[in-house]
Amino acid sequence: MTPTDAPSSETPSSATSEADRRFFAKPWVFVRGVPALKFLPPEGPPEIAFAGRSNVGKSSLINALLGQKGLARTSNTPGRTQELNFFVPDGYGTVEAGLPPIVLVDMPGYGYAKAPKDHVDAWTALVFDYLRGRATLKRVFLLIDARHGIKPNDEEVMKLLDKAAMSYQIVLTKTDKIKPPAVETLLAETQERTRKRPAAFPRLIATSSEKSRGLDDLRAEILTLAE
């Protein structure tokens, strides 16, 4: 798929081939949770990370993307929400049908209203160090809840990504919860708000985990980063 400046529609892209779908439909496994940089796995295949506010639907999106309901744990799982969680295809390290192996990284959710300052500071340090120093990290998909749009803590994360010079792409979640005209309005507003941000990728993707909208667009985008 050739990225453009136009936001994505909610119709799955025909650019996603059946081979692409099979790649994402294979079993994926959790490798490790990383609470500090010293526990990072060795750099290898391209890494694509997912970031977003708590309750943005990040776990649901990852599970829907890979067709596995319980792979990415939800926010009520003790200990897992404050780590970088690494997922790889089962049989990691093999290359089949010309598709390279990929590592997906579920980043800790942010935006807890009552999070202690030391937890917020630790999250910021871990995430910034990972973003700044990981050569194999190709892009961060920044998830935005379509019901709320970009919130102040999302803007803070975008500033962090800009500062780290880390390419990021906005993915709207839960678009089934608002009416189609509102989705189009939100896409246009979000496009304008991110247009001048130095590290923001111009193309937006609108998704719904519940309705499987936009998932093929997201899969195709990920595979372009792994080539």
The answer to whether residue 85 sits within a structural domain is yes
129 belongs to a structural domain: yes
Closest CA to 28 of 72, 59, 61, 58: 72
Is residue 208 a part of any domain in this protein? no
Give pLDDT tens digits for 119-173.
Answer: 778 878 888 889 988 999 999 999 999 999 999 999 999 999 999 999 999 999 9
pLDDT tens digit string along 26-61? 888 888 899 888 999 889 899 999 999 988 999 999
**What global pTM score does this model have?**
0.86
Residues forming beta bridges with residue 139, ordered by sequence position: 48
| pLDDT of the residue at 61 | 95
- Over residues 76-108, the pLDDT tens digits come to 444 445 789 999 888 765 545 444 578 999 998
193 domain residue, yes or no: yes
Is 210 a domain residue?
no
Question: Strands 28-34 and 84-89: what pairing?
Answer: antiparallel
Number of domains in the chain: 1
Domain of 33: which CATH number? 3.40.50.300
Domain annotation covers residue 32? yes
Residue 33 lies in a domain: yes
Q: Domain span at residue 169?
A: 18-139+152-176+189-201
Whole-angstrom CA distances from 116 to 51, 56, 74, 111, 163 are 20, 20, 20, 11, 24
pLDDT at 46: 94
SS3 content of the chain, % helix, strand, coil (to 5): 35, 20, 45
